[in-house]
Amino acid sequence: IKTIGVLTSGGDAPGMNAAIRAVVRTALANGLKVKGIRRGFSGLLEEDIVDMDGKSVSDTIQRGGTILYTARSKEFMTSEGQDKGAEICRKHGIDGVVVIGGDGSFQGAEKLAARGINTIGLPGTIDLDISCTDYTIGFDTAVNTAMEAIDKVRDTSTSHERCSIIEVMGRNAGYIALWCGIANGAEDILITERYDHNEQNIIDNIIHRKQIGKTHHIIVNAEGIGDSYGMAKRIEAATGIETRATIIGHIQRGGSPTCRDRVYASIMGSLAVDLLCKGASNRVVGYRDGEFVDYDIKEALAMSKDIDQYMYDMAKRLSR
Ligand code: F6P
């Protein structure tokens, strides 16, 4: 390996910059060159490639977003696009690529690997929905951001003795909702993995709690279920209790990464370069059972995971 390329792809996540910085500086420490591929696979196809040195990543570890920008590329999903991407890597002397993103990005990494470019994937998404790992870059920051926002909504919700529905991100996964639901002491947590869509149960629960003297009712709703405004109207009509919906939205994707996201992203970035230096390819770095590990990308993509049933049941018990 002589030159490593690094790119971020899919939704951005706080901590991606810490990972990029670790890739760049670890590569330089190993005497390698580094090229930043901007705007993910889409930028690769447009040859949006810049040389990076130690200074390119100065003053970035504390920043949210990704200094390399990110994009979702349709063209790279085609085999012609993948051939072209591998060819461009060769043209720029890039013989190893670190891909920071989610499952879709790993599929892209696998295609490059199959075309002779060594690739390592790093799990970067606020959603935590990557099966091979218990940790993804950005999740910790996102749940802390959402948790603080929900605390604020709760203050005003209690003052007005209202019911509040707060929608958090996670189109296909309820991890953010579950963690915030626990951390914020929500009365109900609605996640696609478990919700039975029986709104009457929620309504009965709200009425019952009001009767026993509760002054507020917080519902954390995952984006995958959505319809928070509609739900608020229906709940208010059925219970007679003022109900408001708040969609936290992209605030959860930005902001300065937490200590955990900076440190784990740094470790993962360093490990990615270590793996490339050892000649590894088509691997994804994960964190499982308290250890940093790596898996074959195909194996990693074939894994599945579900939300922790104990956490889910516990959340219900604690909210009673
Ligand atoms: O995958 C991260 C994520 O923030 C999801 O939680 C959300 O559903 C999606 O991205 C939103 O994507 P976009 O920013 O393209 O609207």
DSSP structure string for 14-26:
TTHHHHHHHHHHH
Write out the binding residues for Mg(2+).
103
Classify residue 265 by its DSSP letter.
H
Q: Determine the pLDDT at residue 320.
A: 83
State yes or no: ipTM above 0.90.
Answer: yes
Spell out the residues 6+ positions from residue 208 whose beta carbon is closer than 8 angstroms to its own: none
CB 186 within 8 A of CB 319: yes
Q: Determine the pLDDT at residue 27.
A: 98
Is 129 designated active site?
Answer: no
Spell out the residues 6+ positions from residue 320 whose beta carbon is closer than 8 angstroms to its own: none
Give the DSSP H or E segment for 34.
strand 33-37
| Residues near ligand 1 (Cβ within 6 A) | 11, 125-127, 169-171, 223, 253
From 105, 169, 225, give the residue whose CB has the most ligand 1 atoms within 8 Å, as the site to mutate: 169
Q: Determine the pLDDT at residue 117.
A: 98
- Centroid of ligand 1 to alpha carbon of 186 (angstroms): 23
Beta bridge partners of 221: 167, 190
Residue nearest to atom 1 of ligand 1 (CA): 11
On the 0-12 / 13-18 / 19+ scale of CB atoms within 10 A, 16 is buried
Cα 104 from Cα 284, distance rounded (Å):
13
**Catalytically annotated residue among 127, 129, 261, 294:** 127
Q: Determine the pLDDT at residue 78.
A: 96
pLDDT 10s digit of each residue in the chain, 320 long?
A: 999 999 999 999 999 999 999 999 999 999 999 999 999 999 999 999 999 999 999 999 999 999 999 998 999 999 999 999 999 999 999 999 999 999 999 999 999 999 999 999 999 999 999 999 999 999 999 999 999 999 999 999 999 999 999 999 999 999 999 999 999 999 999 999 999 999 999 999 999 999 999 888 999 999 999 999 999 999 999 999 999 999 999 999 999 999 999 999 999 999 999 999 999 999 999 999 999 999 999 999 999 999 999 999 999 999 98
Residue nearest to atom 15 of ligand 1 (CA): 11
Q: Determine the pLDDT at residue 199.
A: 96
Spell out the residues 6+ positions from residue 4 whose beta carbon is closer than 8 angstroms to its own: 23, 27, 32, 33, 34, 35, 94, 95, 96, 97, 98, 273, 276
Spell out the residues 6+ positions from residue 293 whose beta carbon is closer than 8 angstroms to its own: 285, 286, 287
- Centroid of ligand 1 to alpha carbon of 212 (angstroms): 38
Residue nearest to atom 13 of ligand 1 (CA): 11
Phi, psi of 246 (to 5 degrees): -130, 125
Q: What is the pTM of this model?
A: 0.97
Rg of the chain over all Cα atoms, to the nearest angstrom: 22
Across the chain, which distance is largest between two alpha carbons, in Å?
A: 71
Q: Determine the pLDDT at residue 191.
A: 97
Q: Determine the pLDDT at residue 262.
A: 98
Q: Determine the pLDDT at residue 31.
A: 98
> Which atom in ligand 1 lies closest to the alpha carbon of residue 126?
2
Residue nearest to atom 9 of ligand 1 (CA): 171
Cα 219 from Cα 245, distance rounded (Å):
9
